[in-house]
Amino acid sequence: MLKIDCDKCIVCGICESGCPFAALHCEDDCVVVDENCTLCGACVESCEVGALSIEVGEKKVQQDLADWQGVMVFGEFRHGTIASVTYELLGVGRKLADARGVGLSVVLLGTDIGSHGPSLIAAGADLVYLVDHPALEQFREDAYGYALEKIIRLKKPEIVLAGATAIGRSVIPFVATLIDAGLTADCTRLEIREEDGMLLQTRPAFGGNIMATIECPDTRPQMATVRPKVMVAAEPDGNRKGVVESIDLDEKLTSSKVEILETVISEEEQVNIQEVETLVAGGRGLESEKGFALIRELASELGAAVAASRAAVDSGWIPYPHQVGQTGKTVHPKVYIACGISGAIQHAVGMQSSDIVIAINRDENAPIFDIATYGIVGDLYEVIPALIKRIQEVKSDSSR
């Protein structure tokens, strides 16, 4: 916590004006701090009379770190299928487990899940833990959370990975709190440090302007979530061998305070820009909603889906489910065509792992060209119609 020594404070106002979070306020004879304080320490450094200090609580170091071994993935199972993020997590989990020389396990909670072991083993798992219980048929945060806590305490993995999906984002922080472990959300890179086996968890920070690498040296497991489509699933290998183990849980653990009255399927436009091979994305450079008619035309010629930058979504030109980026979706298509998008870091983090990026922009210095495989410098209202015309010509030539 921030400690304020009012005997030393001269109410000069330097800390108040320098606080990036507007958390300090000068009163008559001393400065006061409110709940916006993030303990960033800027005020401590700026205080010329030494009236401010940060009191650090006693650091807790877990004593049994060496007892925790292996990598565990929380496998998401919804409406009878395993969510694709599970296979992506097994892809990166396999690499981490190999780097540590340990096993890779996956936990599946639900009902009628018995037949899913082989596909998880083919995707890289050595061990599949199944908890098949009627109370786990639908996602309930408390029941899933207590079940996962129990399995983690029982199996003691050193690393736990989960999808940064609606379910993962809801239950994993709950589990991390129950077991007092560190958790890094929305990681874009995970790797093992060779010297000491530490999990290095990299994610965008400060609005995406820097990439921060986070370590959890004092507690186990090291927990991380990863958004869908950020990691790549391994090619399934049907010859892999693994073990499937059923786990019974105490009835108390599966009881829930949540009662599901009804499940309603959203009737909003169903767009899944994460599942398609080609995306044509439009940004502020379209200048108006009408620009998306051109984007849709190009997308339709290519059998592609339409994506957008946040600037286009915020302008109301296209709904949010199309947004790519830090606060939108992460996509990994074979081809991503960025039209009138500058390539701000918050957009780039959502699409830079596309196999091929084609950028159309009239500014030759736009950052999108730094990540583009092919770049076209020009006015999109001239370039896109020319592209559409050429695609139509090629199609009609090949149909002759």
Of the pair 117, 285, the CB lying nearest ligand FAD is at: 285
Of the pair 86, 323, the CB lying nearest ligand FAD is at: 323
Q: Which stretch binds ligand FAD (CB under 6 A): 38-46, 211-219, 263-271, 282-290?
A: 282-290
Q: Could you say whether residue 309 binds ligand FAD (CB under 6 A)?
A: yes
3-state percent breakdown (helix, strand, coil) of the chain, nearest 5: 30, 25, 45
SS3 for 148? helix
For residue 279, give both structure tokens: 């995306």
* Residue 120 to residue 245: CA distance in whole angstroms: 13
Q: Which of 325, 336, 359, 369 binds ligand FAD (CB under 6 A)?
A: 325
Of the pair 125, 360, the CB lying nearest ligand FAD is at: 360
Q: Which of 201, 323, 352, 353 binds ligand FAD (CB under 6 A)?
A: 323
Of the pair 96, 376, the CB lying nearest ligand FAD is at: 376
* Count of residues of this chain found to bind ligand FAD when the rule CB under 6 A is applied: 30
Q: Which of 93, 221, 285, 375 binds ligand FAD (CB under 6 A)?
A: 285
For residue 329, give both structure tokens: 């979706």
- Give, as ranges, the residues between 341 and 400 that touch ligand FAD (CB under 6 A): 341-342, 344, 346-347, 350, 360-363, 366, 379-381
- 114 burial level (CB within 10 Å; 0-12, 13-18, 19+): exposed
Smallest separation (angstroms) from ligand FAD to the CB of 350: 6
For residue 157, is the peptide bond before it cis, meaning its omega torsion is within 30 degrees of 0?
Answer: no
Smallest separation (angstroms) from ligand FAD to the CB of 357: 13
SS3 for 54? strand
CB 306 within 8 A of CB 279: yes
Of the pair 107, 359, the CB lying nearest ligand FAD is at: 359
- 237 burial level (CB within 10 Å; 0-12, 13-18, 19+): exposed
- Give, as ranges, the residues between 209 and 268 that touch ligand FAD (CB under 6 A): none
* Residue 140 to residue 146: CA distance in whole angstroms: 10
**Structure-token match 């030109």, residue found:** 317
Smallest separation (angstroms) from ligand FAD to the CB of 161: 23
Q: Could you say whether residue 340 binds ligand FAD (CB under 6 A)?
A: yes
- Give, as ranges, the residues between 46 and 105 that touch ligand FAD (CB under 6 A): none
Of the pair 106, 387, the CB lying nearest ligand FAD is at: 387
CB 121 within 8 A of CB 242: yes
Hey, what amino acid is at 244? V
Of the pair 46, 346, the CB lying nearest ligand FAD is at: 346
CB 320 within 8 A of CB 341: no
* Residue 327 to residue 321: CA distance in whole angstroms: 11
Q: Could you say whether residue 204 binds ligand FAD (CB under 6 A)?
A: no
* Residue 306 to residue 352: CA distance in whole angstroms: 17
Of the pair 4, 372, the CB lying nearest ligand FAD is at: 372
Q: Which of 110, 124, 283, 375 binds ligand FAD (CB under 6 A)?
A: 283
Q: Could you say whether residue 145 binds ligand FAD (CB under 6 A)?
A: no
Residue whose C-alpha is closest to residue 354's, from 277, 292, 260: 277
**Structure-token match 């780039």, residue found:** 348
Of the pair 24, 281, the CB lying nearest ligand FAD is at: 281
Q: What is the C-alpha radius of gyration for the chain, rounded to an integer number of angstroms?
A: 25
Q: Which of 310, 318, 332, 352 binds ligand FAD (CB under 6 A)?
A: 310
**Structure-token match 């922009």, residue found:** 361
Smallest separation (angstroms) from ligand FAD to the CB of 292: 12
Of the pair 117, 204, the CB lying nearest ligand FAD is at: 204
Smallest separation (angstroms) from ligand FAD to the CB of 307: 9
Residue whose C-alpha is closest to residue 112's, from 138, 144, 148, 146: 138
**Interface residue list for ligand FAD (CB under 6 A):** 207-208, 283-285, 309-312, 323-328, 340-342, 344, 346-347, 350, 360-363, 366, 379-381
